[in-house]
């Protein structure tokens, strides 16, 4: 019997979906704000932080991968209390691809996390033979644009 797109995996692990975010910063001056937000998500069980890379592009275009604990590059650990569960998941090749084409004095942050909030639903779907056939995430910029458009339509109707 040949495999199809609908064949379930041979065994089901209790894991949630994993996302990898690649976020660019035109000004490489990062602070502890990101670390605080991630720590909150980890503490309340929303995500499990798998790996993280911060890559700085200097004035000459050279790159430096920062220590995982020092987001802002000031030598003070920002993520000292945050556990990275799968260091090395994100590679130097990922870092190089992420900074390609970025201007000097910028930075890129790569974060891999497991959506632990979805483990139970993911297990239930897979235990019933569900097979992921597609996935689409709508970027916040598209949501903002759609909301702006909707607000403009409503305002036009009200002012009519």
Least confident span in 86-90, 108-112, 143-147: 86-90
Per-residue pLDDT tens digits for 10-23: 777 778 889 999 99
DSSP-derived letter for residue 89 is S
Angle, CA of 124, 45 and 65, to the nearest 5°: 110
Q: Is the pLDDT of residue 1 over 60?
A: no
Average pLDDT score over residue span 136-150:
91
The pLDDT of residue 68:
62
Contact 112, 28 (CB under 8 A): no
The pLDDT of residue 72:
55
Contacts 24+ apart (CB under 8 A), 119-125: 119/14, 119/15, 119/16, 122/15, 122/16, 122/17, 123/12, 123/14
Q: Distance between CA 54 and CA 22 in Å, rounded?
A: 10
Average pLDDT score over residue span 108-121:
92
The pLDDT of residue 16:
86
- The pLDDT mean for the chain works out to 84
Residue 23 burial by Cβ neighbours in a 10 Å radius (0-12, 13-18, 19+): exposed
């Amino acid at each position: 019997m040949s495999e199809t797109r609908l064949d379930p995996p041979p065994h089901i692990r209790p894991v949630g979906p994993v996302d990898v975010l690649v976020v660019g910063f035109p000004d490489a001056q990062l602070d502890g704000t990101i670390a605080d937000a991630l720590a909150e998500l980890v503490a309340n069980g929303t995500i499990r932080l798998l790996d993280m890379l911060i890559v700085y592009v200097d004035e000459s275009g050279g790159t430096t991968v920062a220590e995982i604990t020092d987001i802002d590059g000031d030598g003070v650990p920002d993520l000292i209390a945050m556990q990275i569960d799968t260091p090395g998941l994100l590679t130097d090749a990922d870092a190089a691809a992420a900074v390609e084409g970025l201007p000097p004095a910028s930075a890129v942050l790569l974060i891999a996390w497991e959506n632990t909030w979805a483990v139970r639903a993911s297990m239930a779907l897979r235990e019933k033979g569900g097979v992921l056939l597609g996935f689409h995430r709508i970027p916040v910029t598209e949501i903002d644009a759609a909301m702006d458009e909707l607000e403009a339509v409503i305002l036009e109707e009200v002012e009519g």
